[in-house]
Each structure stands twice: as C-alpha cells, then as structure tokens.
Chains A and B, each alone.
Chain A
Amino acid sequence: MSEHVLETERSGGLRGISDVLWRNPRLVIFLLLAPPALWLGIVYLGSLFALLAQSFFSIDEFSGLIQYELTLKTYRELFTPANFDIIVRTVVMSACVTIAAAIIAFPIAYFAARYAKGKWKALFYIGVMLPLWSSYLVKVYSWKLILAKEGILNWLFETLHLSWLLNAYLSIPVIGGNSLSVSATGTFLVFLYVWLPFMVLPIQASLERVPASMLEASGDLGASPRQTFRHVLLPLALPGVIAGSIFTFSLTLGDYIIPQIVGTSRRFIGQAVYSYQGTAGNIPLAAAFAVVPIVIMAFYLWVAKRKGAFDAL
C-alpha cells in the first residue's frame, strides 16, 4: 500500500475553502452569525434604541415641535391622572385575560396531554394550532359579527328569553355598556378568544413532560386523584402556565386594534401610542408610552425566568 493515509497537499476550490473554515471554527461562527446579527442589530435593536432615545425628548407645547434635549419631562407626563389611568386599565385587562385564559386552557391542555391518544391527540393538537395561527383580524372580525346588536349572541339571548339577564349585566357600571360590542366585557371576550391558544400549548407541553409513572407513584403512595392533581400535576404544570401567561399578558398589553373595534371609548396603552404618534404628532410621549409595556414585560420575564418558565416554551 503506497497510498498516503493523510492528504497533506492543499486543495483548490470549495474543498480548499472548506479546509480553511475547518481550521478556523471561530471564523465559521462569525460567518454564520454576521448576517442575522447585523440584520437584527441594525434593523431591530437600532430602531428600539431610536425609540428609547425619542422618549427622552419632549414636545414644545406651543409650537408642537420636538425639542431634541434630554429630559424626563415626557415620562412625568405618563403619570398625569389621565395617562396613568390608561396604564392601570391596560394592566388590569391583561391580568384578567391571562387568568381567564389559564382557567379555560387548563382542561383542554390537560385532556390533550393525558387522555387524548392517537387520532384524538392529533385532532386536539390541530384544534389548538389552527386558531393559534389563523388570521388575527379574521378572529377579531368574527367577534364583531357575534357581538353585533343584530348578531348571534343577542339572538341567542332573545330566543332563550334571557334578554333581561343580558340587560341586567350590561347595566353594571365599568364592565357593562350600551351593548356588548361597546362594553369592556366585549373587549375582554375578544382578547380572551384571540390569545387563548397561546396559553394552551405551553401548558400542554409542560404536562406532557410529566411522566405517567410519576402520577402512578403518587397514587401508589396513597394520594387520591384530586390530591395527585393538587400536589404533583399542578406544581409541575406551573412553568407552562407562566410561559403561556407571558404571551397572553404581553399581547394584551400592546394591542391597539381590538379595543378600537370592540369596546368603550376608554383607551388602552396601544391606542395611546398609536394616536400620539399619529394624529397628535407627539412622538416623545408615544415613545414613552411604548416603554411602559417593555418595562412591565422585562419585569415579568425576569420573574418567569426565575420560576423556570423558559424550559416550557
């Protein structure tokens, strides 16, 4: 055998390039990372910083022009009663939507993870995936149809002779209104509907990671199904709930379309941002408003990370 065991001569072409890359693994990482890092760094982070910078400028009340001097004046404006009200309203709505979504999502996820098998499992999976990915606007639109005065929900109440109940509910201040489509309850229902699938999947994922033997062990040690649920399953599903809540909370926090289409005239953070940057032309205040959900989410993510929710994403 005269053939060399090692090919030590240099190669040309692609093989030559491959040799160079093989000798420089860091170069490979650099080449792989450069395009996405440049794109996200410049386009996204750059814009984000531009926004942050704007929030430290202020607007001249008389001329309406932006004054390019660093100031905290704009942030102070956030805490005027009218603006602070918007923030509180949005956070309360986000919290309500998140809690309701967790309550409705849990049985779906639990059933899909524990009991559904074979075909049923696939059906449940697609049953959650489809609403998750189907068009946001279509989903919102469907609720405009449902909640309309002449729509299916009112028709249902009438047919069942329960209109008095609906009217009694709508007469409650804060959550009621002239009709469901212009009430805070209507806004809540649409939010809940649109973001619910984002809660189901993480919970299902975390439940599926609980091995069946662990539940058998709990039963073996004398726990009733209820106790097993309370002491074993629920704590293990908690990271999934938190992971799901990141979505429902964040998405509600920043939405400006749903409250614009279904709900009262009281504004949410997203609407405030939209109107300040648009018709009002007060970009600094819009930017400062946009920082609010960032700060809230940063805090939320920090707590979630400490609870180990990211493993369930």
Chain B
Amino acid sequence: MRSDRAPLGLKIAAGAGLAFMHLPIVLIFIYAFTTEDKSYQWPPPGLTTKWLAVTWNRPDVWEALSLSLRVAAISTAIALVLGTLCAAAVSRSKFFGREAISLMVILPIALPGIVTGISLRSAFHLADIPFSFWTIVLGHATFCVVVVYNNAVARFRRTSGSLIEASMDLGADGFQTFRHVILPNISTALLAGGMLAFALSFDEVIVTTFTAGQQQTLPIWMLEELVRPRERPVTNVVAMMVALVTLLPILGAYYLTRGTDTVAGQGK
C-alpha cells in the first residue's frame, strides 16, 4: 500500500500544520521593520531600519544580552561535564540504581519549569543564599544536563563496546583510549548537545524569574516588555535577534548529528 504519492488531504493537512508552526515567526521579522511605534498595527504603515540603530544604542539591551550569553556559556560548560559523565556511567555498565539516575537527570525537564523554579527559590531562601549570577547558573545547568545527556547516551549506545576493548587490546590504557577512541567518536554528539543546551539556557525564562532576583537576562527583559509594553519597536527588534541567535545552534546541532540514529533535539 505504500505508494510514493501522498493523498491530497494529507498533503494539505501536513502543509497547513507546518505553515501554522512557521508563519508567526515570520511575522516577527516583518514587525521589526515597521514604522508604527504605538501599536501592533497590521499591515505595517511603512518599513524602516531605524529601530535596528535605536536598539543597538540601548545599554540595557546589551547588558541583558551579555548576562544571557555568560549564563548560557557557563551553564553549558557545566552541563557538558555532568551530562557526559552521567552518560558514560549509565552506558558503561548495568549498576544498581541506573534507572534512578536516568530519572533524576530527566526530572528537571519533565516536571513543569515552575516547579523547578520555585523549588530553587525556596531552597535559596532557606539556605540564605542571595541572588547572583551563580544562582541563575545553578538553575540553568540543572536542566541543561539532560540535553547533553540525551545526546551523549545515544552516541555511547551506538559506539560499540568492542571499540574500547580493541583500543585496550592494542596497548592503549584508559586515558589513551579516551583521547584516541572515545572522544573522537562522541565529539559531534557533545558539540550538538552543547549547542542545544546553549540555546535552551539562552532562551529560558520560567526558572530564571525565580532565580535571578533583580538581574535581567534577555528573556526577562523581553518578558517585562511583554507584560508592560513600553518600547514596542525595540522589543520587536530584540525578538528578531533572539530568533536569529537560537537559530544557529539548532541548525548546527542538526548538521552535526544528521544521518545518525538519533538526531539531536528530539527530546527537549
């Protein structure tokens, strides 16, 4: 029954579904150039690039962007180490409590973000930890671990155990085997996982509202503009920039893992 032609109805439904997922984002790009600055008027009365320059000269946007980038970089680094270690342990052998470990890694992303957020906040409160750069990182790294872990575990599973044995058989000790065989085989998966973790952290807002205190990451800056719009044109431009910044790591991660069993990003 598998014909190469899809039924017309299915084609339309699939195409409409895809369009539904993409058109709103396209809209963001148009609004970034509208001349209207008091409302969300459609169609835009005119197009201009002046808001790009305005946004460029806004120190608060730059500060928020810089904080977001630093948080994402550090959180990704921590998640890379923890996620890889965890994946190596889980795929290396069947030990007692293996399922519990997997569950613990997945939990921060399986439970609603608000649970993670308020948990961390009340823990900081109980332990008298003041909000800082590091409280944001603490939260972000926790839910980024799973992204790296998922990618690494899938790759470890594909890397046959006999490769490691073959390396040791040929005289390489554990560290040499890691450097010459394991690392080259998992590197693209780690890179992909790291990129996705970066995108996840860069974009995160729900947990961050609970762990940031007075600090503003870019998503928090945007959230405030969303709740109380003050400068719509700047928000429009920032939204476009954020969409572009997250686009690159996603495409990169896809490119790195395509053609393998598990393409990165399936379980966000």
Contacts and interface: CB of A to CB of B under 8 A. Distances in A.
Interface in B88-113: 88-89, 92-93, 95, 101, 104-105, 107-108, 110-113
B101 to A, nearest CB: 7
B112 A270 contact: yes
Q: What bracket does the count of chain B residues touching chain A fall in?
A: 35 or more
A287 B258 CA distance: 42
Contact of A133 (B42, B105, B116, B196): B196
A36 B17 contact: no
Interface in B210-268: 219, 222-223, 226-227, 235, 239, 242-243, 246-247, 249-251, 254, 258, 263, 265-268
A283 interface: yes
A303 interface: no
A75 interface: no
A313 to B, nearest CB: 5
Interface stretch (A13-21, A76-84, A163-171, A172-180): A13-21
B254 A125 contact: yes
Nearest to B243: A138
B111 A293 contact: yes
Which label, helix, strand, loop or mixed, suits the secondary structure of the A interface?
helix
Contacts of B235: 141
A25 B93 contact: yes
Given A219-B1, A255-B112, A290 B14 contact: no
28 contacts: A26-B95, A39-B145, A40-B105, A105-B17, A111-B14, A114-B2, A127-B18, A128-B18, A129-B254, A130-B251, A133-B196, A133-B249, A135-B219, A137-B205, A137-B219, A141-B222, A141-B226, A152-B27, A198-B268, A218-B1, A228-B1, A254-B206, A277-B122, A286-B118, A287-B118, A287-B122, A301-B110, A313-B267
The 7 closest A-B pairs by CB, nearest first: A254-B112, A107-B13, A219-B1, A111-B14, A18-B173, A47-B123, A142-B24
Interface of B: 1-2, 4-6, 10-11, 13-14, 17-18, 20-22, 24-25, 27-28, 31, 39-43, 78, 81-83, 85-86, 88-89, 92-93, 95, 101, 104-105, 107-108, 110-116, 118-123, 125-126, 138, 141-142, 145, 173-175, 196, 199-200, 203-206, 209, 219, 222-223, 226-227, 235, 239, 242-243, 246-247, 249-251, 254, 258, 263, 265-268
